[in-house]
Structure 1
Amino acid sequence: MRLRTTAAGRPAPRRSPTRGLEPPVRRVAAVLGLGGFMVVVDTTVTVVAMAALTRELDASVSAVQWVTTSYTLALVAVIPAAAWATARFGARATYLGAVTVFTLGSVLAAASGSVGWLIAARVLQGLGGGLINPVGMAIALRAAPPGQRGRMMSLFGIPVLIGPLVGPVLGGWLIDTLSWRWIFLINVPIGLGLIACRRWLLTDARVPGTRLDLVGLVLLAPGAAALAYGFTAIGDAGRVTTAGAVPVVAGALAVAAFVRRALRHPAPLLRLRLLRDRALAAGLATIAPFTAAYFGGMLVVPLYWQVVRGESAMFAGLVGIPQVLATGLTMQVATRLVDRVPPRLVSTTGITVTLAGQLLLISRLTAGAPVVELMAAGAVMGVGVGAALMPTITGATRGLPHDDIPSGSTILAISQQTSVSLGFAAVSALLTALVGGAGVAGAYALAPAARAAAAPAIAHAMQLTLLLPVGLVALSLVVALTTLRTDPVPVPVRAP
């Protein structure tokens, strides 16, 4: 360890490893967090706009569903290019370009006069949004020294985790008070504000000669998008169908071909050899099932409030506030602990608490359960998620060298997005199968009296469905206990 000295040759005071981030780095975290929040919220904000879009754009329900699906597929398809774009154009330029594209897509979406126009605008949004989070994570990790990356990620991760919960509430309020166009227009001042704060983002070196692995991109981008589409189709149908199975198989073959190429190519699109790093590989293996469980399980509870209890989408979001607060507050403490204690201790504690919260929720999710009890179960899960997800990501990435951070963050982003799609599909398919008939959508369309009569059976189906996320979290706990490192990562002294 090198001792820093002053200009006079005397030893300089050592920076306390517990000291907070410097103001400029806090600004970086604020900018990146706001950008990530904007992207994640747009993943779920359109869910509550289905009825308004169908009515005002004179479109079918199946056509309007593509407003959400097209955004997700574009998001997945462009993520593989994040590491290359960061090296070729620089992280700051890539990030600002992505924000510009996303903002332009938001303007076009708000101005849509037909469902086809809106879908095209959502694709443009997704192409910009898909780069914002992986490139933003690369900027965040590079902006803070290894010993303070936990603090940086505690700030960066808040919007990513609470965005899906805030989206339906925000969307419902905007639609009820203004119009559906405002769920897109609200992105414009945020995007312009991020561009105006560009000086807060640190500049980094570019590698102008970096060549794009076009064959790798052609394999991975459509392959990942096909997997996401296939999983979504299977989830919507509630069973394995040709429309879902064919894209899944084609996507899996394309991804497998990409992996084979990436391990042999001298300059691949993604440096998969980074997975030889134990911390990164173990973190990814832990995060994948946990992410699928967390986001897949989020599908059930809002539906419970709307279908079983007959509440509005806004009410379903409001009762989730304790979970949001618990996640955000716990993350601030737990992610920073990774800077001082073994990552496995923090992650396994968080996963265990999440598991306890899930079991508590399942035991209380009856047709007439007290609202307070369900909110308390959500808060317990929030504590667990806040102590599990971002601390695990931080432990996986904090040891990466500067030049490997873009590839590492892109690998994690692709893995997480694929896990989210798989989790949504698996939970949706199981719930549809257990509810029977026309599924949850059919139950929601019933007359109030008929829906009230069916409420106990639907609630029971939701309880059984949530056993799948419980199993995935249990799997994540086993992986964490057996693979995550047990020794604390030393905090280096910042070089002069």
Structure 2
Amino acid sequence: MEYKTKVAIVYVVGLFMEIMDTTIVNVALPTLARDFGVGTDRIEWVVLGYLLSLAVWIPASGWLGDRFGTKRVFLFALTTFTSASALCGLAGSLDQLIAFRVLQGVGGGMLTPVGAAMLYRAYPLAERARAATAVIGVAVVAPATGPVLGGLIVDTISWRWIFYVNVPLGLTAVVAGAVLLREHREPTAGSFDLAGFLTSAAALTLTVYGLSEGPRRGWTDPVVVTALAVALVAGIVLVWVETHRSAPMLDLSLLGERLFRQSNLVGVATYGGFVGLLFVFPLYLQSLRGFSALDSGLTQIPQAIGVMLSS
């Protein structure tokens, strides 16, 4: 078996597990809320904590892979994600579950960019379109599988198994990666953009926290106003830092390219609507319409088919 095929297999297994996890949890949210005795305003942090952690660590993962080696960082990401999945299943309180989901996001945030870098380095330029096809296939199938599988597990076993299901996949990928992958480091990795990392983390976290707490506390509440104000300041500082650094974590100059800028704006709107619907729809169907977890997952199959056809 060629090395490029080995890289593709390991990466696809890890990518499938990470992407599926973004949707498999959504159908379990009403059950989690009942089990922990909390409302929607608190149970949403099971999803938000994970997504925020992803967003914070994705930009930093490129430098980590270059500095410490892509194989080492990829295996660390897989191990962290798998271990955190097991801990999520063992969580005895909502606070524990949210904390373990944040840890899970650390692994997930590193896994995709570092794995993609390994994949494209392994494939010659002429064959990278073929490698991208495999990645697109997984990116389409995994989120479609999540709601149905999650609903089936919640209704027939326990919500804890939506996290335990990652463990055998993760362990398989870790062992395969340790045996099959080669190490690669970039000698010109440079220094870590700590200021960019901290300001981006603050801006993202405080923005989401303020927007989440606003409807519950009121938009004039001091906590909400302070969170959003500090987030705005952090965002302004982030832009200044990244535009005055020779090797920024976020190369904002790319937004000057018209195609890059427009495609990202469309992507934000599209993905925001897609993920928002995946979050709200199961809550609506189960809490207000009385659907089971499996039935709410099955109702999302037409959407999954549409995504597959459009991809």
Work out the CA distance in 2 between the residues paired with 1:323 and 1:228: 26
The equivalences for 1:24-423 within 5 A come to 24-56=3-35, 58-61=36-39, 62-198=41-177, 199-207=179-187, 210-233=190-213, 242=221, 246-276=226-256, 280-299=260-279, 302=282, 305-306=285-286, 310-328=290-308, 383-384=309-310, 386=311
Distance 1:177 1:312, change over 3 A: closer
**What percent of counterpart residues are identical?**
34
More RCO (CA 8 Å, sep 6+): 2
Work out the CA distance in 2 between the residues paired with 1:232 and 1:169: 27
Q: Is the 8 A contact 1:46 1:171 kept in 2?
A: yes
Query: 1:192 Cα deviation (Å)?
Result: 0.7
Letter in 2 for 1:207: P
Query: 1:180 Cα deviation (Å)?
Result: 1.9
Query: What is the number of equivalent residue pairs in this alignment?
Result: 308
Q: Is the 8 A contact 2:206 2:230 kept in 1?
A: yes
Q: Is the 8 A contact 2:67 2:185 kept in 1?
A: no
Query: 1:209 Cα deviation (Å)?
Result: 6.2
Query: 1:255 Cα deviation (Å)?
Result: 2.4
Work out the CA distance in 2 between the residues paired with 1:138 and 1:229: 32
Query: 1:237 Cα deviation (Å)?
Result: 5.4
Work out the CA distance in 1 between the residues paired with 2:30 and 2:278: 21
Structure richer in helix, relative to its length: 2
Q: Is the 8 A contact 1:48 1:172 kept in 2?
A: yes
TM-score (norm: length of structure 1) = 0.55
RMSD of the alignment, in Å? 3.1
Distance 1:281 1:142, change over 3 A: farther
Work out the CA distance in 2 between the residues paired with 1:166 and 1:172: 10
**For 1:189-248, what per-residue CA distance to the aligned partner results, in whole angstroms no more than 9, with x for missing partners?**
1111111121444532333863212112111122122233334445x6598565656534
Query: 1:23 Cα deviation (Å)?
Result: 5.5
Letter in 1 for 2:90: A
Query: 1:98 Cα deviation (Å)?
Result: 0.9
Q: 5+ residue gaps in structure 2?
A: none
**For 1:15-37, what per-residue CA distance to the aligned partner results, in whole angstroms no more than 9, with x for missing partners?**
xxxxxxx9643443332232223
TM-score (norm: length of structure 2) = 0.83
Q: Is the 8 A contact 1:33 1:158 kept in 2?
A: no
Q: Is the 8 A contact 1:89 1:207 kept in 2?
A: no
Q: Is the 8 A contact 2:147 2:300 kept in 1?
A: no
**For 1:287-328, what per-residue CA distance to the aligned partner results, in whole angstroms no more than 9, with x for missing partners?**
233322333344565566556764323123224334434534
Letter in 2 for 1:179: S
Larger Rg: 1
